[in-house]
Structure 1
Amino acid sequence: MHGFNSVNWTNVLLVIVLTSFATMFAMANLTLIQVHFLGVSSATIPFYVPVFIAFMLGFFGGVLALLFSRRKHKQEIIWLRQENERLQREVDNLRNIPLQDDV
């Protein structure tokens, strides 16, 4: 239970540090800008907004890629466990075959 508690405090500390950096970044970048993309212009927004949006899109793209990779690895683990069981049965069967002397 001790390990679980220390992980929670580490996560809380990490969230506090990241939130502090994000807040400091936002406060330092309040300059108003207009974003133009594919012929569409945004309203006037603070500079940190498109930066955070780009960061979040990258983060969620990474999470999505991780989920697909994890799914692939889980399927491979299932296949390897089945193969291991099959090979273990084969080894057990070979151990049970009586030895024959051709003398």
Structure 2
Amino acid sequence: MNWINALVVALFSAVATIFALANSGEVAIAFTGIGVGHSPLYVPVFAAFVLGYVGGVLSLAFSRRKHKRRILELEAENRQLHSEVENLRNIPLQEEL
């Protein structure tokens, strides 16, 4: 699986490099009417990509945390129910006289 990850990273890096070389023209960057400056086109595009990636990772981290907690609760309930079943198996079906 590691070689697949390495292949995806290498492919993405190659595409990003080609994009950066092809789009080196200057663009003006302004936010709510305040001019921030000029930079090559690929800088704001990559910045937007990185911000989206970080947002997605944070979203998944919080979601995973919630699901992990639920999994732990269900595992504890499962252990308790297995214990209850084992205790019920040890009870005789009929009372001996």
Q: With structure 1 as the length reference, what TM-score do the two structures score?
A: 0.86
1:47-88 CA distance string (max 9 Å, x none):
111111011000000000111111111111110110001101
Equivalent residues in 2 for 1:34-45, closer than 5 Å: 34-45=28-39
Runs of 4+ aligned residues of structure 1 deviating over 6 Å after TM superposition are: none
Q: Normalized against structure 2, the TM-score is what?
A: 0.91
For 2:44, the equivalent position in structure 1 comes to 50
Gaps of 5+ in 2: none
Who is 2:92 aligned against? 98
Amino acid at match of 2:42: Y
Query: Structure 1 stretches of 5 or more lacking a match?
Result: 1-6
- Give % identity: 53
Residue in 2 aligned with 1:82?
76
- Give the 3-state SS of the residue equivalent to 1:34 in structure 2: strand
CA RMSD of aligned residues (A): 1.2
Deviates more, 1:80-89 or 1:30-39: 30-39
Are 1:26 and 2:14 matched, yes or no?
A: no
1:72 aligns with 2:66: yes
> Which whole-Å CA distance do the structure 1 matches of 2:75 and 2:36 have between them?
53
Q: Which has the larger share of strand?
A: 2
SS of residue in 1 equivalent to 2:94: coil
Shift of 1:10: 1.7
Aligned length: 95
**Could you tell me how far apart the structure 2 residues matched to 1:25 and 1:75 are?**
42
